[in-house]
Amino acid sequence: MNMIIKEMLKLFAPPILTQAYRALRARIRGGLYLSGNYSSWAEALAASTGYDSEIILEKTRVALLKVKKGEAAYERDSVLFDEIQYSWPLLAGLMWVAAQSGGRLNVLDFGGSLGTTYFQNRHFLERLPVVRWNIVEQPRWVEVGKAEFEDERLKFYGSIEACLAETQPNVIILSSVLQYLERPFDVLCTLSASQCNYLIIDRTPFWDGPMDRLCVQHVPASIYPASYPCWIFSAHRFRSFLSKSWEIVAEFEGFDRLPSPVKTTWKGIIACRRDLPFGVSEC
């Protein structure tokens, strides 16, 4: 019966009904999904249950400690996996930046948890002569990061300014973070004002509409019970904003697949400064 309904939807239903059906199915099954179309962040917050950041932090801490010690292969969103799920375009972007910089990789990972992307790619990073990975996070995450994860390569900071006061990164990573910020373009402006020459965006939702759409993301209790505001960015508007400071080198499709009220593609972008010619070393 489910297969019949699915095929009928493909044949006769407009895309918006198809998306609604997928979101309803995810809700019934207790999976991750996006819902709604809210006019303000406050309205989306009111429709959310919120989340207990300490529970999420503790689950992430325990999971990533296992990854750090070699007891597990990979962590994402506090969930452990038996195999590393690489974002190969992101890794290619990191290696491209290192190639442009004489083998030096100095990352500003905004919203980088306790090192998810660092540990995901560390086997490749170990081959580079110089690696420094700086995570900018919320205060409690920084506290735990410094106490249990920080070493000569992995560093933690409570603000962009604190990071830039100590080191000069050559690449910014924004992986699954912009959509959860109330003012994501303000953060992009702040980061664009830094002297980082390269930018990598990953696991970010886009749609073909003219304006950004504000939804609520629902997380099943099997991961952690939560719901919170989440943007689906207008692809055209996002590219237009980015082009003020950055030249897009490549776009790629991410591996996230969340049922949404509109047709949504989770994508990534690799970009460099508009005034930085391709293939010209910054060393």
The model's pTM: 0.87
16 in any annotated domain:
no
Residue 86 sits in which domain range? 31-273
104 in any annotated domain:
yes
Tens digits of residue pLDDT in 89-134: 999 999 999 999 999 999 999 999 999 999 999 999 999 999 999 9
Distance (Å, rounded) from C-alpha 111 to C-alpha 151? 18
Residue 37 · residue 213 · CB < 8 Å: yes
282 in any annotated domain:
no
Compute, in degrees rounded to 10, the torsion defined by CA atoms 40, 18, 77, 38: 0
* Full pLDDT tens readout for the chain, 283 residues: 555 445 554 555 554 444 443 444 434 345 899 999 999 999 999 999 987 789 999 999 999 999 999 999 999 999 999 999 999 999 999 999 999 999 999 999 999 999 999 999 999 999 999 999 999 999 999 999 999 999 999 999 999 999 999 999 999 999 999 999 999 999 999 999 999 999 999 999 999 999 999 999 999 988 888 999 999 999 999 999 999 999 999 999 998 999 999 999 999 999 999 886 554 444 3
Question: How many separate domains does the chain show?
Answer: 1
Tens digits of residue pLDDT in 237-273: 999 999 999 999 999 999 899 999 999 999 999 999 9
Adjacent-strand bridge partners of 250: 270
13 in any annotated domain:
no
116-125 vs 88-100: helix axis angle to the nearest 10?
A: 60
The CATH number linked to 263 is 3.40.50.150
Instruction: Output DSSP code: residue 262.
Output: S
- Closest by alpha carbon to 254, among 233, 236, 276, 274? 233
**Three-class SS state of 91:** helix
